[in-house]
Amino acid sequence: MTGTGDKVMSMAEAIGRFVTDGCTLVIEGFTHLICFAAAHEIIRQGRRDLTLCRLTPDLVYDQMIAAGCARKVVFSWAGNPGAGPLYAFRRAVERGIPHPLEIEEYSHYGMVARFAAGAARLPFYPLRDYQGSDLARVNPRIRDVTCPFTGERLAAVPPLNPDVAIIHVQRADRLGNAHVWGLLGVQKEAAFASDKVIIVAEEIVDEAAIRADPNRTLIPGLIVDAVVLEPFGCHPSYAQGYYDRDNGFYVQWRDISTDTASLDTWLQEWVHGVASRAEYAEKLGDRLQALRAREHLSPPVNYGY
Amino acid sequence: MTGTGDKVMSMAEAIGRFVTDGCTLVIEGFTHLICFAAAHEIIRQGRRDLTLCRLTPDLVYDQMIAAGCARKVVFSWAGNPGAGPLYAFRRAVERGIPHPLEIEEYSHYGMVARFAAGAARLPFYPLRDYQGSDLARVNPRIRDVTCPFTGERLAAVPPLNPDVAIIHVQRADRLGNAHVWGLLGVQKEAAFASDKVIIVAEEIVDEAAIRADPNRTLIPGLIVDAVVLEPFGCHPSYAQGYYDRDNGFYVQWRDISTDTASLDTWLQEWVHGVASRAEYAEKLGDRLQALRAREHLSPPVNYGY
Amino acid sequence: MDYTANELMVCEAARQLRDGEVVFVGIGLPNLACNLARRRHAPNLVLIYESGAVGAVPERLPISIGDPALVTGCSSVCSMYDVFAHYLQGGLIDVGFLGGAQIDRHGNINTTVIGDYASPSVRLPGSGGACEIAILARKVVVIAPQSKRSFPARVDFVTSPGHVEGPGGRARLGMPGQGPVSVITNLACFGFRDGEMTLTSLHPGSSVEQVRANMGWEVAVVTDLAETAPPTPDELRLIRDELDPEHLYI
Amino acid sequence: MDYTANELMVCEAARQLRDGEVVFVGIGLPNLACNLARRRHAPNLVLIYESGAVGAVPERLPISIGDPALVTGCSSVCSMYDVFAHYLQGGLIDVGFLGGAQIDRHGNINTTVIGDYASPSVRLPGSGGACEIAILARKVVVIAPQSKRSFPARVDFVTSPGHVEGPGGRARLGMPGQGPVSVITNLACFGFRDGEMTLTSLHPGSSVEQVRANMGWEVAVVTDLAETAPPTPDELRLIRDELDPEHLYI
């Protein structure tokens, strides 16, 4: 009965209840709406052996890998967007630091198709991809399927059905019905594909505010298990209409992450050293306030009849 | 170069230029946003041998069949929603009146999957459907596909790629970027699946009005070939926020369509007897005005950063 | 208290729904049943219409499955791809309601043709979403008025599979849902035993003979045959005054 | 007039774009090239970012492919499923830009690993959308700085297929797009003849020897070898003052 009742809880409670050692987790969001607040709470709670799925591991998984949370990463592009490599990811893959990291690798479309298959509970998804690429050679989960009409062979990928999806949204009601705008990434498919869904919201609003614009609802409450209020929960990623991306931090991460000592120091100060995202936001202070979005409001539409 | 330049033209010009005898056509819209204005213009221009695709043929294709435009119907539910059978469709299928009508039949999901495959230019789409049903027995285009991972057999349908899609929207700019809200049906997939796309809009707005809420854009201008301004273009169907469905007419259609004589009289008066949708709307007069939507506005969202 | 057969069918259908379930709703009696259940024992019932309206709270009785009143104030609008791929095939639908021109002893439903497919005596509307609801919903409740013609031993055409040829028929074909669990007619209620429709309760005033006279085969009867509970005054008040004040369906 | 190699590469890439084309844009030089073309000869160029922003008109230089400035005021935002299934696989993309750590004589691109896949000496970011852009875009333009290491005869790993093993390689594998049509480096421009990278123009100041010294094979040269046109003052002004005023990429 995921569909019913008030699901609001703290981040600590949501992570404690749904993210277990060894589980398969997806924190989605393509550049936009990446929930660092959830990742940091997972690090604080000391989760281990996670299979981390995301198109772009980004800083969010680089930090979790460095903190020793990850056993495996399922991904399609592992870089620091706009600023170079992901050093913790590279150390784990190239040299097994802090411990060996298993990888399972696709292209973006392959990951999107895996989530699409997962959301639709299909055992495979066909796509025109991977011919002539070595990706299929090194990943046995990329196979061929024969079209029953034309006889042609297409690539096929299996569904990805994580145990838990963490989806950051701009606003949600207490049942988990969530409005998202700006870049949508693959969040809808990742949420429908997962057994449990944690919605993390910049704002929790009245059910009536969601129902006033139902076409804006990306995630329906009936698939949601927990709703967490976490303003600034995406920093250094961003939330359209709330705050900008902290591009400076993405560049700084290059220096922070190039050696394990400085990275550990950073984790101590900014993850273990704060009890919650609220403390983190307070600690960031003016830097965060400077990222606040200007107003650029959409015009209304009429839902009357 | 579909993507560029002003595409606004009259309905007569759009139909004359893109809808040719023998072509495969889809006028989509599930109850909502069914473009009767386009169907009537096609009837007036005397198009013949059309393959008409739609989940629900509805009154819109019943009228075109009665007028002799159709050679074939590809569909999944042929009834008068809320009011009984489609008599013109039945006469054509059961008794070849006005001439024999070929049918190709799926369930809704099968049609949705055909448009999804068409939009993605896939040669087939897999779905969990049709086991134990006679639909696959009578339609050779419903086949099996074997999953390359689990070995299980699923149903598969081929893509549907019409020559022309006619999509009614609430508002569009002159390039064809179109905002749609309320029920979305399968319009996006039908438009991407088709070679030519005609957008028919209740309002043509400034490009800036579309760009002020880009998440509301269902159809991008780059796949659009013509933009037609046609207020009340959906009556007796409806446009959320503009006018309500004329449920009374759907009931009346039962009587109008039960015999060919009364149906022909109706076509003479309401289709051939008017030169355009504007004349049709004027002729409807108060009846149409009574359907005007009340105001129920959505709240804004902030696109700033 | 007087009531119509349709009113009893609505009440009986409503009673089959549990709070928190996700229901794929059709127009007419199923819509009334779901909204009745929501007003009484199942306030958290989630209503999904195949048109894409999720969590609808219509302010007027919807006349079509795509009525604009289903959109205004609903919690989410999704595309039909989402409805069928994510909700239905995704396994999120607990209960689907189906009706049909013919229903047979295994709960197979025909909404396609009477007679031969290629040259039908009556061309019916076809499947719509019924075929996939029958295959994919966790369970299916059938609502249909009963007659010898509409309840044949074997349907002319299987649009929506029930228990196919009988016991294990669905499992052999790998269907995710458990298929029809009950049939509610104007005369009686039926369940399924080993994939075969079985009379479980008689509506007040109906007899086994009357039920059998309106079916194409000698239907099995449970040993503890019950009487269907009639609508309560409160149920009737809700249906007549609030849910269908113009009495379109009752 | 003085200009950097990156500025020349941006100008040359811009010149490859025709008005009305639909371009799959990456961050950095491709983004500058597209916006330069839009300001000059291709006002109706449609820019699509893999993040889902369509028809973006960013008011600041986007730093990441998902920069919020790509969303504000764009004409449409779509899901990544739509980007890959409907736009790219749907055949709507005329031009895709790619770069890479290694590009070989057949235009195959490596962005995955240097060395062996299982125990790489350098782990690179991987494909992202590059593999499917390489396969599905109508044509591909490669932009990359040139060195002996980055232009080997054969890449360590084919992330994004070019002309595979040479003539007819793509057709044999049934790839919809025609693959790489040009490569723009800091030294020269290349086309493809029978699926093999071929030097077509030298940037001002470059020599064939210098180009060959920075490649892992003896590259073929067209008979009518040209000189790449240098940036015009107007192009440079646009790039420096308007498109990248903080000189992040030039």
Q: Do D72 and B305 touch (CB under 8 A)?
A: yes
DSSP B167-235: EEEEEE-TT--EE--S--TTHHHHHHHSSEEEEEEEEE--HHHHHTSGGGEEE-GGG--EEEE-TTTTT
pLDDT at residue number D93:
97
Q: Which two tokens stand for residue A92?
A: 């784990």
Digit-coded pLDDT (tens) for D106-126: 999 999 999 999 999 999 999
What does the domain layout of chain B look like in residue ranges? 11-46+161-289, 123-157
Torsion of CA C170, C171, C177, C183, to 10 degrees: 40
Confidence bin at B1 (pLDDT 50/70/90)? very low
Beta-carbon pairs below 8 A across chains B and D: 72
C55 close to A (CB below 8 A) = yes
Q: Are A3 and C46 in contact (CB under 8 A)?
A: yes
pLDDT at residue number B2:
52
Report CA torsion sign: B54, B60, B66, B67: negative
| Beta bridge partners of residue B169, listed in sequence order | B201
Torsion of CA A295, A301, B2, B7, to 10 degrees: -110
Residues in chain B: 305
From CA C203, how far away is CA C182, in angstroms rounded? 14
From CA A58, how far away is CA A77, in angstroms rounded? 8
pLDDT at residue number C63:
87
From CA C166, how far away is CA B225, in angstroms rounded? 53
User: Residue B3: pLDDT above 70?
Assistant: no
Instruction: For residue C66, list chain B residues with Cβ-Cβ distance below 8 A.
Output: 30-32, 81, 183
Confidence bin at A1 (pLDDT 50/70/90)? very low
C78 close to A (CB below 8 A) = yes
Per-residue pLDDT of chain D (250 residues; tens, 9 = 90+): 699 999 999 999 999 999 999 999 988 898 899 999 999 999 999 999 999 999 999 888 888 999 999 999 999 999 999 999 999 999 999 999 999 999 999 999 999 999 999 999 999 999 999 999 999 999 999 999 999 999 999 999 999 999 998 888 899 999 989 999 999 999 999 999 999 999 999 999 999 999 999 999 999 999 999 999 999 999 999 999 999 998 888 8
C216 close to B (CB below 8 A) = no
From CA B60, how far away is CA B40, in angstroms rounded? 9
Catalytic residue among D7, D12, D21, D50: D50
Helix, coil or strand: residue B71: strand
Digit-coded pLDDT (tens) for B165-219: 999 999 999 999 999 999 999 999 999 999 999 999 999 999 999 999 999 999 9
User: Residue A3: pLDDT above 60?
Assistant: no
- What average pLDDT does the segment C90-112 reach? 96
From CA A155, how far away is CA A136, in angstroms rounded? 9
Digit-coded pLDDT (tens) for A237-274: 999 999 999 999 999 999 999 999 999 999 999 999 99
Going by C-alpha positions, the residue among C96, C101, C113, C102 that lies closest to residue C175 is: C96
Confidence bin at A5 (pLDDT 50/70/90)? confident
pLDDT at residue number D101:
94
- Known active-site residue C12: no
What does the domain layout of chain D look like in residue ranges? 5-187+231-243
Digit-coded pLDDT (tens) for B40-59: 999 999 999 999 999 999 99
pLDDT at residue number B231:
98
Q: Do C86 and A4 touch (CB under 8 A)?
A: no
Digit-coded pLDDT (tens) for B117-147: 999 999 999 999 999 999 999 999 999 999 9
B222 close to D (CB below 8 A) = yes
From CA B118, how far away is CA B53, in angstroms rounded? 13
From CA A234, how far away is CA A35, in angstroms rounded? 5
Torsion of CA C21, A114, C136, B31, to 10 degrees: 80
Confidence bin at C51 (pLDDT 50/70/90)? very high
Confidence bin at C61 (pLDDT 50/70/90)? confident
C194: how many CB neighbours lie within 10 A of its CB? Answer: 11
Residue B25: φ, ψ to 5°: -130, 140
- What average pLDDT does the segment B90-107 reach? 96
A206 close to C (CB below 8 A) = no
The secondary structure element, H or E, covering residue C96 is strand C95-98
Minimum distance, in Å, between the CA of residue D15 and any CA atom of chain A:
25
- What average pLDDT does the segment A7-22 reach? 98
Q: CA dist D241 to D69, D238, D245, Å?
A: 18, 6, 5
User: Residue B86: pLDDT above 70?
Assistant: yes
Residue C26: φ, ψ to 5°: -105, 165
- Beta strand C95-98 with D180-184: parallel, antiparallel or unpaired? unpaired
Digit-coded pLDDT (tens) for A175-217: 999 999 999 999 999 999 999 999 999 999 999 999 999 999 9
Confidence bin at C194 (pLDDT 50/70/90)? very high
Confidence bin at B78 (pLDDT 50/70/90)? very high
CATH 3.30.420.40 for domain A11-46+161-289, yes or no, is no
pLDDT at residue number B152:
95
- What average pLDDT does the segment A50-76 reach? 98
CB contact burial B17-40 (16+ within 10 A = b; e otherwise): ebbeeebbbbbbbbbbbbbbbbbb
C175 close to B (CB below 8 A) = yes
Instruction: For residue D74, list chain B residues with Cβ-Cβ distance below 8 A.
Output: 211, 214
SS (H, E, C) chain A: CCCCCCCECCHHHHHHHHCCCCCEEEECCCCECCCHHHHHHHHHCCCCCEEEECCCCHHHHHHHHHCCCEEEEEECCCEECCCEECHHHHHHHHHCCCCCCEEEECCHHHHHHHHHHHHCCCCCEEECCCCCCCHHHHCCCCEEEECCCCCCEEEEECCCCCCEEEEEEEEECCCCCEECCCCCCCHHHHHHHCCEEEEEEEEECCHHHHHCCHHHEEECHHHCCEEEECCCCCCCCEECCCECCCHHHHHHHHHHHCCHHHHHHHHHHHHHCCCCHHHHHHHHCHHHHCCECCCCECCCCECCC
Confidence bin at A4 (pLDDT 50/70/90)? low
Name which of A143, A147, A216 is nearest B123 (Cβ-Cβ): A147
pLDDT at residue number A2:
52
Report CA torsion sign: C241, C242, C248, C250: negative
Q: Which two tokens stand for residue C7?
A: 């009113």
Which pTM value belongs to this model? 0.98
Beta-carbon pairs below 8 A across chains A and C: 71
Name which of B4, B121, B211 is nearest D90 (Cβ-Cβ): B121
Q: Which CATH architecture does the domain made up of C5-187+231-243 adopt?
A: 3-Layer(aba) Sandwich (3.40)
Lowest mean pLDDT among A81-85, A138-142, C152-156: A81-85
- What average pLDDT does the segment C39-59 reach? 93
pLDDT at residue number A287:
96
